[in-house]
Structure 1
Amino acid sequence: MTSKRWLQRHQIAVYAVSVALAVAVGVGAPSTAPLVEGAITPVLAVLLYVTFLEIPFVRFRRAFTDVRFMTAALGMNFLVVPVVVFALTRVLPREPAVLVGAFLVLLTPCIDYVVAFTDLADGNAEQVTAATPALLLVQFALLPVYLWLFVGPGIADVISARPFVEAFSLLIALPLALAWLTELWATRAPTGRRWQSAMGWLPVPTMGATLFVVVASQFPRVADSLGQVVAVVPVYVAFLVVMPLLGRLAAGAFRMDVGNARALVFTSVTRNSLVVLPLALALPAGYELAPAVVVTQTMVELAGMVVLTRVVPDWLVRTPPSSIPFADPGSD
């Protein structure tokens, strides 16, 4: 087994070690948090570049034209998820920073490690990757609207458009353009092919590095506000339980095959904590707790992904959802 394949098969263990090391640094050297925080955006940009580079653009374009999947993914994330989030967050304290942090992360679908977890569950990772630009554009357009509806009109004075524009430019447009140029280079020159092959080693280590810088930089905030942050954990756990079931129902309604059904489940449940963290960090005074609320979701979700990468292929979506009753998802 090649080392690259070993990394892919053991990526959850790599991520767990990264988080454990980050917690150790956060506890043992909290003064390093501001320095580590500065690495979040560049490390995340590299992660998205190597993620986009994993999918050849000819297949990327083909997947993007799958209207059925794109309709289901957009409908789940921007019609169903907001209703679920609004219902689940009714139990949270009326603390603006807690609510804004929870809404920021739960209302935004993941566009990075969702690809890796979909692939681990033998889902259609290409389809998820193709959907990421649309998911990011729509979430940035609708997030202010949902915050206005759920938090109130005053949120307009708190949320600035600048972090959204910067996040899209640095974390999606630039990595996507560089990935396209790299693939074009690889088709024309041996050096380009060698570069592309070398980049194939990086998705798992870069994901581990991203988790490290995010958790290490934000863990002191979580630890200092543990009493307030712990209130969001049951909400995050409930979201991890409810959304896979609804995603499977939607896959059945759209009569998807197994690969696309699993992809829809993961894009419905995984959240964009790593990309929205810079937005939470840009919030004004009085919202210092929001980044801790966002990072807490990351840690809860990673634990949930360890379960879901087994449960989805072994139980929830073993065969095409349209061919089996929802009451007995494990039947053949």
Structure 2
Amino acid sequence: MGTRSWLQRHQVATYAVAVGLAVGVGVGRPERAGFVQRLIEPVLAVLLYVTFLEIPFVRLRRAFTSGRFVAAALGMNFLVVPVVVWTLTRVLPRESVVLVGALMVLLTPCIDYVITFAELAGGDSERIVATTPALMLLQLLLLPAYLWLFMGADVAAVIEAEPFVEAFLTLIALPLALAWVTEAWATRSSRGRSWQAAMGWLPVPMMGATLFVVIASQLPRVQESIGRIVAVVPVYLAFLLVMPVIARLAAGVFGMDAGEGRALVFTSVTRNSLVVLPLALALPAGYELAPAVVVTQTLVELIGMVVLVRAVPAWLIPEPPAGRPNPDESHDG
């Protein structure tokens, strides 16, 4: 328990070290990028497994009944976000390859490490877990529609469903099932309880490992194209600044408590870059720069998340003062 609490208190320093090491490897040993990239999915799957173990499944079952949160999350991601993205991307060059990469990543809500970030910020992460099937299905259906609306039919036609489905099965469904089995094992066996307790100190180190493998593997790709993609960085930064504020306002409108509000912030701001990257890599000739545009968002967002896991609970959505109740939770259903 001591190690676990120490890691939680020093999580930002842990992530800073991971980012520093990743930059060192990405710049100093770019030839290792291919090997490190192959580690992204396994590392992310382990991260999600240990994160799911932090969520009691009785609470997860209850989260599936939260119609208020689901409505807010879907409305933010598929109604509000597209308007914000369209507005922010008006400043980008009309070069389609840069714009398509930015639109692909900004229009798709995260379904994986958002759960970890929400948990680290004291958010109601089981609400996000319960919403992930709808988020995955709707982004799969709506991304081509949004690309058609923003860029035309030729771009929309190149989006395929397979990477989305594969990512959901390997990064959400499998870790969630394993966590459920582990929790059931822990209720019946002292070995299971010992295993679950040992896994309890892994979320922070695994988040650091995720930061490392993503940045170290993708930084060389960004370096090669930095001159052309630098224009998207202000857009990504603006998105990170604007969406938490809008989500905070929406949480107030929906009467959410602190945990739900923080979860809404993170599901509104984090994007599905690790799932979209295979889509960008599979684009036809002429779109070779799109993966670098997606990766740039990954780098900006991951560093931004290190700030938001502290800023959201400390400033944007703090706990209510002692003696002041949270908003009435009877709106769920």
TM-score of the superposed pair, with normalisation by structure 2: 0.88
The match for 1:60 is 60
2:112–2:171 contact (8 Å) kept in structure 1: no
The match for 1:133 is 133
Deviates more, 1:216-225 or 1:107-116: 107-116
The match for 1:315 is 315
Q: Displaced runs of 4+ in structure 1, greater than 4 A? A: none
Output one character per residue of 1:60-107: Cα deviation in whole Å (capped at 9) or x when no partner.
111121111111011101111011111111111122332222122211
Map 1:148-163 to 2 at 5 A.
Answer: 148-163=148-163
Q: Which amino acid aligns with 2:133?
A: P
The match for 1:254 is 254
The 2-side partners of 1:115 and 1:243 are apart by: 17
User: Which stretches in structure 1 are left out of the alignment for 5+ residues?
Assistant: 324-332
The match for 2:328 is none
The 1-side partners of 2:122 and 2:174 are apart by: 28
Q: 1:276 to 1:226 in 2, by over 3 A?
A: same
Map 1:200-215 to 2 at 5 A.
Answer: 200-215=200-215
The match for 1:142 is 142
The 1-side partners of 2:280 and 2:141 are apart by: 17
2:64–2:127 contact (8 Å) kept in structure 1: yes
The match for 2:112 is 112
The match for 2:26 is 26
The 1-side partners of 2:309 and 2:42 are apart by: 28
The match for 1:192 is 192
1:218–1:291 contact (8 Å) kept in structure 2: no
The 2-side partners of 1:120 and 1:41 are apart by: 21
How big is the shift at 1:303?
Answer: 3.2
How big is the shift at 1:319?
Answer: 6.4
The match for 1:166 is 166
1:55–1:129 contact (8 Å) kept in structure 2: no
The 2-side partners of 1:60 and 1:53 are apart by: 11
Deviates more, 1:189-198 or 1:98-107: 189-198
Q: 1:143 to 1:250 in 2, by over 3 A?
A: same
Q: 1:110 to 1:185 in 2, by over 3 A?
A: same
Q: 1:308 to 1:252 in 2, by over 3 A?
A: same
Q: Which amino acid aligns with 1:66?
A: S
- SS state at 1:158 partner: coil
Q: 1:39 to 1:309 in 2, by over 3 A?
A: closer
2:136–2:164 contact (8 Å) kept in structure 1: no
1:221–1:289 contact (8 Å) kept in structure 2: no
- SS state at 2:14 partner: helix
Output one character per residue of 1:160-182: Cα deviation in whole Å (capped at 9) or x when no partner.
22222222221222222222222
The match for 2:331 is none
Q: Which amino acid aligns with 1:6?
A: W
Deviates more, 1:196-205 or 1:25-34: 196-205
2:145–2:156 contact (8 Å) kept in structure 1: no
Percent identity of the aligned residues? 73
Map 1:212-231 to 2 at 5 A.
Answer: 212-231=212-231
2:111–2:136 contact (8 Å) kept in structure 1: yes
Q: Which amino acid aligns with 1:177?
A: A
The match for 1:79 is 79
1:43–1:209 contact (8 Å) kept in structure 2: yes
2:44–2:113 contact (8 Å) kept in structure 1: no
Q: Which amino acid aligns with 2:297?
A: Q
The 2-side partners of 1:282 and 1:211 are apart by: 24
The 1-side partners of 2:93 and 2:65 are apart by: 43
The 2-side partners of 1:275 and 1:312 are apart by: 25
1:125–1:263 contact (8 Å) kept in structure 2: yes
How big is the shift at 1:279?
Answer: 2.6
Output one character per residue of 1:89-148: Cα deviation in whole Å (capped at 9) or x when no partner.
111112233222212221122233333333343332332333333322322232222222
> Is residue 301 of structure 2 the alignment partner of residue 301 of structure 1?
yes
The 2-side partners of 1:134 and 1:190 are apart by: 36
The match for 1:46 is 46
TM-score of the superposed pair, with normalisation by structure 1: 0.89
Q: 1:139 to 1:231 in 2, by over 3 A?
A: same
The number of aligned residues is 321
The 2-side partners of 1:96 and 1:113 are apart by: 29
- SS state at 2:231 partner: helix
The 1-side partners of 2:247 and 2:129 are apart by: 17
How big is the shift at 1:156?
Answer: 4.1
Q: 1:123 to 1:45 in 2, by over 3 A?
A: closer
Q: 1:93 to 1:168 in 2, by over 3 A?
A: same
Q: Which amino acid aligns with 2:125?
A: A
The 2-side partners of 1:171 and 1:318 are apart by: 30
